[in-house]
Amino acid sequence: MKVYSKKSLNEYQQSLTYNDISLIPTEVSRIKTRKEVNTDTEFLGNKLALPLLSSPMESITGIEMAKELSSLGCLGIVNRFDSSLKEIISDKKNVDDIIAVSVALNSDIATIEELADTGSLICIDTANANNMEVLKKTEQIKSKFNVKVIVGNIAHGASLNQLVDVGADAVRVGIGSGSVCTTSIQTGLGIGQVSSLLNVYFAREEKKLDIKIIADGGIKGAGDIAKAIAVGADAVMVGRLLAGARETPGEVIRYNDQLWKKYRGSASFGVKMRNEFIEGEETMVPYKGVVKNVINAISDGLKSSMSYMNCFNLQELRNADTFAVLSNYSYLERLPKP
């Protein structure tokens, strides 16, 4: 069996995603228990207990979710589809617990100025950052305000230099990989998440660019978070992992004697509410209770992975360079059996 490095994975002849690879623990671990592992990290000037951001989706992150994630040492990015932005602006004391806000490409500069005054991060929430209007908007914001700006999304590192030139502080990597995203089906675009991250990572390293990489999409559990960080991500963005939590927007629904909550893509009909090109789906997910339990489970899983890999901290995990490429049956073998 060949043991792959990041470099050789990046040169692999096919596009790879999380299910295609596995971390290989090749060192005798110094770690007695996962409690010794430290997942603290610094991200755009914020100290986090876990390198996790919530997706700015209408069914994932409102003010309540953002505040709770902040208290848990994560980053909640408030969606741009409801009254949350107005509430943040009008009641600035809420921002003590909220450290990221998404805006549309066509958001007016006055609104962005008010958000910047609150001290929030600004996330330009678009499906395609390889776009001249995104570059112009980023440059406009950075030239006027002292604020950190996240842009997205990209699937390849070819335009990373241009994003850095206009002032982008972080970029969301992933096109078409979200669980309720149909972009790849509708447009034929997209690369496996592992290959996308590696491509952007090496583009950054080769040119020594100052920009953070956010793995956005395709995360199914803590194991995928560990893989994402090991192949180059500074942080991960999750949607479905948090879907169904009590703090997500929307009511709990009882159906067939079970509790559910809605989960839908930002480009779904339920969000757009008009007949135009749709690139997202809507579904129901089981109710999960408080998000604190979800975050604790993610943290435990990530720490366990790091203990196997002999990594006391996230930087050591980022230095991991031993991977396997799995056959279909190798992947299926490790799934729980009924």
Annotated catalytic sites, by residue?
A: 181
- What is the full DSSP assignment across 274-338? SSS---B-EEEEE--B-HHHHHHHHHHHHHHHHHHTT-SBHHHHHT---EEEPPHHHHHHTSPP-
Residue type, 72: L
What separation in angstroms does the CA of 290 have from each of 72, 136, 187, 253, 314? 12, 40, 36, 15, 26
Residue type, 256: N
Phi, psi of 309 (to 5 degrees): -85, 10
d(CA 312, CA 49): 14
β-sheet with 212-216: strand ranges across = 75-76, 52-54, 235-238, 212-216, 170-173, 149-154, 121-124, 100-103
In three-state secondary structure terms, 198 is helix
What is the number of alpha carbons within 13 Å of residue 220 lying toward its C-beta?
7
d(CA 44, CA 23): 27
Q: What's the residue count for the chain? A: 338
For 167-207, where are the E strands, in sequence order?
170-173
Residue closest to 217 by CA, chosen among 262, 292, 153: 153
Residue closest to 299 by CA, chosen among 39, 1, 96: 39
Instruction: Name, in order, each residue with C-beta under 8 angstroms of 218's C-beta and a sequence gap of 6 or more.
Output: 17, 18, 174, 177, 178, 179, 193, 224
